[in-house]
A and B are shown apart, each in its own frame.
Chain A
């Protein structure tokens, strides 16, 4: 597997096993990609907890915003990173510390050292991908927009 090449099974495994997702860099602005992804993941049944020190204590899409991952008082399965590649390093350290089982870095966020560290600690990692795009691709929704899912199936599809 090259640095940012993941099988559909691998990505689906992460998305299926996660229930609570902490989104670092979540924005309260409705046109920002993080807001759109958070809203989508909520629709898919995930609990999404926003992390953003700039708006800590406020609410985004009905969820209280925390200043850091370690402030979150409950168990987090997956950490979704909407920050720069450099900023991802310390966030991954924190994700390991709070016992998350996977770290997902958004499109354009690539930090191989941090990913290696997380994997050494037993976390599954994804870089340079969007969980909204992957979730909709894997469940067949993306095809509604003509996106190449790279999936072929002769079975009736079951939405993820």
Chain B
């Protein structure tokens, strides 16, 4: 087979015509369960001796197309879809951590992830150690012997920051732990973290992969690069598993062991399965991912350049702008575009931020990114409201910050709308 390009894989990867019917579009296998050929077949499936469908909580043929599609686009060995990006993160850490374990993350994160890591994960006795600075040095300083993983976002929320994935991967690997990269805001079209050393990639597929703001979903991609048996840090992978009669999952499944473990332990027992219908919607969205990401990035650059020159705007943080501190990282990690999501500061602080979101017309005021529609939010009064002001500042979501997710409308309409609302 030829080495197909990204755009071709966006349409075809994982989606051969349906073997049962010849249907060209992937059918929606809206079923909970699948019949066994006989008792021995059932036993083989339950004992992981044979791949096959048992129950849609664990695998589903429609969802499998989504999983293989994203694994191919990220250049990974295997994928796993979940009900949401948060569900995906839960399964990743459930596979990597034991009670009492720690991981290191940067504060430049989606507010929901900050809360999940620092609040809800505490109940599992899983602990996040925050890096003081969003770079390799900051992460290195936060790593201790208890650290089991490093977590970053490629294009970091709420926008404008691009992480030095290669340097951070080296720091993680020197410590004998994997690097997990949330690639939601970039999508694999703009950035492929595995090429730069990431071991696990995670997505909220709800955002740019689906792209239309209509379906929730999450994806884990296993790069197939990490040696889970090199230390005793990852017993879920390297040690005999009681639920499977003492099977060692890394030994048995090799370079797809992480994805398989997330599925046959995490997804099976914790349950955040995606609906086959949502998988279908996300597959359909991904077919146009390259076209959308090009237009998102072009529009975002035009809007960012306009805001940079606006007298009511104090600063713009968009890596596509030549004066951005992350312009070089943009050229290295996502040269095809700096994405759709970025932040800017309004003169007048919190009150001016509230006034802008209340006055805008074409941008939708809501807590999401990666829609065809342009979106606006004032993080301090919404997504990052649960954080205190110091945490908000650290997350890049201070009181004057406005976050945009620039959609696929005509850029001049978006610019006119922002201009009117800023001047009001």
Contacts and interface: CB of A to CB of B under 8 A. Distances in A.
B14 interface: yes
A42 B16 CA distance: 26
Interface stretch (B110-118, B126-134, B145-153, B252-260): B252-260
Interface residues of B, number: 48
A143 B72 CA distance: 11
Nearest to A158: B19
Contact of A40 (B50, B59, B254): B50
Interface stretch (A31-39, A62-70, A89-97): A31-39
Contact of A147 (B16, B22, B68): B68
A149 B44 contact: no
A133 B12 contact: no
Interface string B51-62: 111000001010
A146 B16 contact: no
B254 A133 contact: yes
A54 to B, nearest CB: 19
A88 B172 CA distance: 34
Given A143-B68, A144-B64, A150-B1, A31 B16 contact: no
Nearest to B224: A148
Contacts of A142: 51
A52 interface: no
A154 B59 CA distance: 23
A134 to B, nearest CB: 12
A141 B260 CA distance: 14
A30 B50 CA distance: 13
Contact of B65 (A33, A133, A143, A145): A143
* Interface SS majority for chain B: mixed
A120 interface: no
A136 interface: yes
Interface string B36-53: 000000001001111111
Interface string A35-68: 1100110010000000000000000000000000
Contacts of A153: 12, 16-17
Contacts of B14: 143, 149
Interface of A: 7-8, 30-31, 33, 35-36, 39-40, 43, 107-108, 130, 133, 136, 140-157, 159
Interface of B: 1, 4, 8-9, 12-14, 16-19, 22, 44, 47-53, 59, 61, 63-65, 67-68, 71-72, 76-81, 240, 244-247, 251-252, 254-256, 259-260, 263
